[in-house]
Amino acid sequence: MRNRPATPLLDAIASPAELRGLSVGSLRQVADELRAETISAVSETGGHLGAGLGVVELTVAIHAVFDTPRDRLIWDVGHQCYPHKIITGRRDRMNTIRQGGGIAGFTKRAESEYDPFGAGHSSTSLSAALGFAMARETGQVTDLPVGDGIAVIGDGAFSAGMVYEAMNNAGHLGKRLFVILNDNDMSIAAPVGAMNKYLNSIYRGPFQDVKTMALGALDLLPSPMRDGAKRARDLVKHATIGGTLFEELGFQYIGPIDGHDMDELHETLKLAHDTATGPVLIHALTKKGKGYAPAEAAGDRYHGVTKFDIATGKQVKSKPNAPSFTKIFAETLTDLAHDDKRIIAVNAAMPDGTGLDVFDKAHPDRCFDVGIAEQHAVTFSAGLAAGGARPFCAIYSTFLQRGYDQIVHDVAVQNLPVRFAIDRAGLVGADGPTHAGSFDIAYLANLPNMVVMAPSDEAELVRMVKTAVAYDDGPIAFRYPRGEGFGADLSDCEAIEIGKARLAQKGEKIAIIAYGTVLDAVMKAAEELGFQPTIIDARFAKPLDREVMLDAAQNHDAVITIEEGAIGGFGSHVSALFAEAGVFDHGLKFRMMTLPDSFIDQDSQDKMRSKAGLDAQAIVTMVNSLV
């Protein structure tokens, strides 16, 4: 007789509360359906897939055991939150994820009460969960009383120092708190460092062999004895490994357990929930991309994907018209390093994203992935520079924020020649405000000793990489956007004189001074005007080309600066120069076009620039208002 298909259960789950009355077998079925739903949803929108597939069973088991949203469930980074969103009332909106007007690709407090803490950067979950726990302990009153704090954090995130700061504090406080280590031996790239080796030693060491043998021995017992040995089996299954680092930090350690075995997951979480009095760390072994063969076979386990065909896993890739800025940077630096052995490349767990995987293949002894540890990456680079090397510290703009004190204290104050290659500068699209590179111009250009550059196209980027290699007088930074270049000619790209701007177009009445790739929008806007304005490619936010800037002010009726960055950056420095030189005393009209004083939600990069008032049409409107 053929087995009848099980009645779908996911359709009946309107909220996590409805999971709590289900049997473990039914929870297993919900997980299977949830995995299929996740694959289907992301195939239509693109987004982060592999991480979510790896935590499907965890997601169901946590919501089935804990009283969310009263218990505060915090997903570290948020790459893995898609299944969570599906079963917390957002299933019908998954077709809008990471799109304009849709739901965010990460957890977001304003979106749902089941997202108690927003994320987009790694390694923040333990600190936030401990904060919730102590809010409960100190009797804080909210509309929704605080229950337990639960942090789900990947093994890759354990390379960040903030995790240990939180664990040290949690162990000292000794209050009830749950940390679930989602150990899949992967972050975006393969994790690196001593902690990864330590975790491997826990679940591949002698204890695991003993545990396996003990569980296997029970199966050899006669049925009556096997039934009577259940208590012993449970003791073995949930045994804790004495002497782990986590226990030394004050946590009860449980594991390792199979993060895809619903029986074991549910039993372990319930045991911890019912008995814990202090901080607990549950070590769950998972597989990124679990349950979808193309993801499991991919090198990055389908971390981030475009729309794809479910049957084949083939992704819909747009054909680039020109190489990306990331590729141009990486290939240029790699080529220059052939002749300059002092060049060393440093990244923080993003070898592919920064393009330095190319450098690593050519110069493996001079390329360092330090893990999710931007603070360390900056000071490590400072040490390299002090030791005579020419380090390039390649970090996304939004992540470099995490190393700001090190930029000030360890680099700028000591005037060390660290080269900062700042990728994903400006608006980045679907990842939204947590990943936008909005502030680097402002937070770097106000530092003494710092040189700050931005290329207007990929040829200028090549020139700036060469400029940075040759500059040994102090720290230097250059920012460039996500995405393709403009097809610029790369045949004649020499280093630039420090602080030297470029006249892109000679004109009259109004001077438009562009910093970075916004020059393209300026040139397009100029074609729609009834006259020809002067257009300047600033190249440098610091030092400014005083001669060119002051000439623009003295020989035009109005000056406009434009940058894809927050107020306080390039335009503010130009304004300060003009004020110092007294040019405003003579009636100059001056306007700054910057990102607005607000966070812009996810959308396409073009639409975000339009919302920000930094597209060609906005420039035309600004110019016409001044003519």
Transcribe 399-443 into DSSP letters.
HHGGGHHHIIIIIITTT---EEEEES-B--STT-TTT-B-SHHHH
Q: Are 538 and 464 in contact (CB under 8 A)?
A: no
| CA angle (216 as vertex; 214, 222 as ends), nearest 5 | 105
Active-site residue identified among 374, 458, 563, 564: 374
- Distance (Å, rounded) from C-alpha 382 to C-alpha 410? 6
Peptide bond into 256 cis (omega under 30): yes
- Distance (Å, rounded) from C-alpha 627 to C-alpha 619? 12
Query: Beta strands 510-515 and 534-537: pairing type?
Result: parallel
Active-site residue identified among 28, 301, 390, 402: 402
Give which of 189, 164, 246 is closest to 371, Cα–Cα. 189
Q: CA of 223: how far to CAs of 207, 233, 236, in Å?
A: 27, 14, 19
- Distance (Å, rounded) from C-alpha 39 to C-alpha 121? 24
- 28 in active site: no
Active-site residue identified among 28, 136, 288, 419: 288
- Distance (Å, rounded) from C-alpha 271 to C-alpha 29? 22
Q: CA of 520: how far to CAs of 69, 251, 517, in Å?
A: 47, 55, 6
Q: Are 468 and 591 in contact (CB under 8 A)?
A: no
Token pair 């000619």 in the structure block, residue:
489
The residues pairing with 181 across neighbouring beta strands, listed in sequence order, are 153, 283
Q: Are 154 and 184 in contact (CB under 8 A)?
A: yes
Residues in the chain: 627
- 402 in active site: yes
The residues pairing with 563 across neighbouring beta strands, listed in sequence order, are 515
- Distance (Å, rounded) from C-alpha 107 to C-alpha 68? 15
Q: Which residues are catalytic?
A: 288, 374, 402
